[in-house]
Structure 1
Amino acid sequence: MTSLKKYIPKRVLLKISGEALLGKGMYGVDPEIANAIAQDIANVVNSGIEVCLVIGGGNIFRGMTAASKGMDRVQGDYAGMLATVINAIVMNNVLKQYDVESHVMTAIAMPQVAETYIRDKAMHLMDKGHVVIFAAGTGNPYFTTDTAAALRAIEMECDLMLKGTQVDGVYDSDPKKNPDAKRYDVLTYTEALIKGLNVMDATALSLARDNRLPTVVFDVHEKGNFSRVLNNDGVFTKVVVSETDV
């Protein structure tokens, strides 16, 4: 079991990988997974914690993968951004089924689909307890959704960023391939960068470190895990600026 400092954050950003929405499928969004995640988010919102979201698009399209196969990187990244919009719209719809006031804001203007991201408006909505789902990354190619998540978390003045994945933390090697892989309870951003650990890309790590934004990596598929982590319980990895921040 891992412990955070004994406080409950007021405002958090939850970053969900697109792959985490796949479930047992090969493509798209598994409705059962989306509903389970939405219910966990609703429970956290109902507890009084303000939540915003960034969702990846890897379950639909990955720009870097396409670029490695010959597609123009810029066009591939834009396609990946559009994939995140699809996921955001789906999650927005599911959250409303749990009576959560939620909104999609995109970094690329598409007014027929969602609101365009304006920081002051997003802050106002969060102040009212609404969930804001940030889509289309940063609006620029060459930046991952991890970097977009770190950026939005800082802009929204979040106390904590959480990365919901398919594993229960950060390991020194791939736990799916190495049964002896070691999970870190606490990790500094500098350690993650030096060791090249698969937490987030270097830009996202540096951005979070430079703005003293702690990050928690946890298994988003385990029911109720979002609430447990925020209550200093469960299994996860906390990434901090220095070990004195734990």
Structure 2
Amino acid sequence: MTLPSDAFRLVASRPHEPLRTFHPRRAPLGPEREDALRHLWPRLGFSVHDAGSPMPPSPDGTLDTVALFGRSAPVVLEIGSGMGETTTAMAAADPARDYLAVEAHLPGVANLLGLVDRAGLTNVRVAHGDALDLVRTAVAEESLDAVHVFFPDPWPKARHHKRRLVQPSHVALLRSRLRLGGTLHCATDWAAYADAMLAVLAADPSLENTVDAFVPRPPHRPVTKFERRGLDLGHEVRDLVFRRIR
């Protein structure tokens, strides 16, 4: 049985690798999450960076989502699924699509596995590691129905802006994996990052905003615990939904 390891941390820390878009951190799992990893990982999870990962490849070396989910269905990529509450709720309300959640922090992976199991969901799989690495190396072009980027690290200091997930090169990569008509949905509670996101997405000639600027939170996106904390602090949450047009 192959369990997730620290391999992605080693890869992300090597010189000349792409800059991390997340803060690496360690936290204890606890017995319940350790049990979830032990029993659910072989069926529902895979590691982005582990050579022994059970991730099923297709003949061209990309991720075989039909083998992964056991069916052919539109795929939603969730980048940074956190503790998994949002992914679980959205997947439960959207059984016609499959959800591939990628999370760099092991407690979140384990918690999501437990939530998925308790909800009896069959349309969620969980990857441990750097989502951008997975997209670069294993996600086929024009294979995704949607990409969700909810509350990524804002990297508020100017010298760290180069680490932000939503920047031109990353957006171009993600857009290339969307089918025509597929959507890129971002959300943040940092006003300056929201404005930067809007500028970056609007500058991509192959993306089209679904509204003039920001959209009200779509009813299908649940309010997360993280989001509630931001709202309690007086932060304004902004959503952006762009569609691939060419």
The reply to whether TM is greater than 0.5 is: no
TM-score w.r.t. length of structure 2: 0.35
Structure scoring higher RCO (CA < 8 A, sep ≥ 6) equals: 1
TM-score w.r.t. length of structure 1: 0.35
